[in-house]
Amino acid sequence: MLITTAQKALETVKSGDKIFIHSVSAVPHHLVNALVARADSLKGIEIYHLHTEGDAPYTNPEYAEVFHTNAFFIAKNTRKAIAEGRGSYIPVFLSEIPKLFTQNIIKLNIALISVSTPDKSGFCSLGTSVDATLAAIDSADVVIAQINKFVPRTLGDAQIHTSRINYFVPFDEPLHEVSWGEPTDEHKKIGSHVASLVEDGATLQMGIGSIPNAVLAALNNHKDLGIHTEMFSDGIIPLVEKGIITGKYKKRNRGKIVSTFLCGSRKLYDFVDDNPLVTMMRVDYVNDTSIIRQNPKVTAINSAIEIDITGQVCADSIGYNMYSGVGGQMDFIRGAALSEGGKPIIALNATSKGLSKIVSHLKEGAGVVTTRANVHYVVTEFGIAYLFGKNLVERAKELIKIAHPDHQEALAKSAYERFKHHSSVEF
């Protein structure tokens, strides 16, 4: 281990290197800025990352010949660069990203990470993101860590010894914070509908954003809920404080909140700091379907960009334009379906900018993240559609019922044209 400056540590980077950047709110921005400062002396650098928060200066047009970003999940900070060809999207299940590194399918030269200050035994914490970062650390030739007092000391797989790090760069900066604001009336209605599906003793997985937060806010009368999720945010804190989240009935990591990354406010980061209730684990464990299914009543709550009237879910693109990624949706949708009493749920607003998100057919170029065979429940502000075991005509009827009323007639006409050869079809 060598304690040095970012400038000195980043001298190890050479043209053509493959570099991993720590995920979500754990991005080591001081190291990233030092890397970009070396742009004049580098070319052909391939950067790999999951969802990242905050500035991503390596995606700026002036660095197009120096850095090419490869996203396993696209966030706002890289979307434009990928659309304009300065970056690429790699479709992959979140649970399978680690093997890309450990099996040298992608051979990493450098891993840029952020860690908490070491304890007296020489252990640091990866803080808010373990995900595939642990695999990147194990696989990269050189690991450069930004020691940051603002990184919370989380437990589980997040604990790594200083001997696994080549360069330490002390630099304190607050972690990126995210807030989704107050839920809209539509989100509250969706949250209420989803909450009606959640049983006492269930194990929850929820994605990121306003709808999951609205669901959590509607769970105040539930009992003994557990958490096994790829990510969580501030919304779980009140439920922990009220004794609603206990993990009492979980079969794996009983009593623990299990996640692989988290993102939210400073309050969230303080909540998880040295908190034995929270166990941060590697993503190939958290998102392993065979692990997920062992917990009872797994209720997986995910969203979509659009869903067609047969139940095909597009969650990664708007037509040909990549927007986000496959992520862990299929990992948990399948895991929930296989769990005893489990419920896989797709929750979405009925419309976006006046356009229906329940559609007769997906846009040209749209990606199917979750197949129609995997979809059980679909929820909008207008109700709940249950698709499991239903034929295509029955599915269309269920989905049209929960579409926005302004779009139901057009959807019904389209469905009739599609299925009119079936006997006694009425919409």
Dist CA 381 CA 383 (whole Å): 6
Taking the C-alpha atoms of residue 274 and residue 154, their distance in angstroms, rounded to an integer, is 6
Pseudo-torsion of CA 141, 146, 149, 154, nearest 10°? -30
Beta-sheet pairing, 278-280 with 306-308: unpaired
Give all strands of the β-sheet with 306-308 in edge-to-edge order: 313-314, 306-308, 358-359
Which candidate in 230, 306, 381, 398 is catalytic?
230
| Active-site annotation holds for 199 | no
Amino acid letter, residue 213:
N
Within 13 Å of residue 320, how many CA atoms lie on the same side as its CB?
A: 3
Query: What is d(CA 82, CA 64) in angstroms, rounded to the nearest whole number?
Result: 11
Amino acid at the residue 97: I
Phi, psi of 293 (to 5 degrees): -65, -20
Residue 24: DSSP 8-state: B
Largest CA distance in the chain: 75
Angle between helices 405-419 and 392-401 (to 10 degrees): 170
Tokens 């684990």 belong to which residue? 281
CA distance 166 to 47: 19
For the chain, give the number of residues: 427
Beta-strand relationship, 321-322 and 317-318: antiparallel
Residue 248: DSSP 8-state:
T
List the catalytic residues: 230
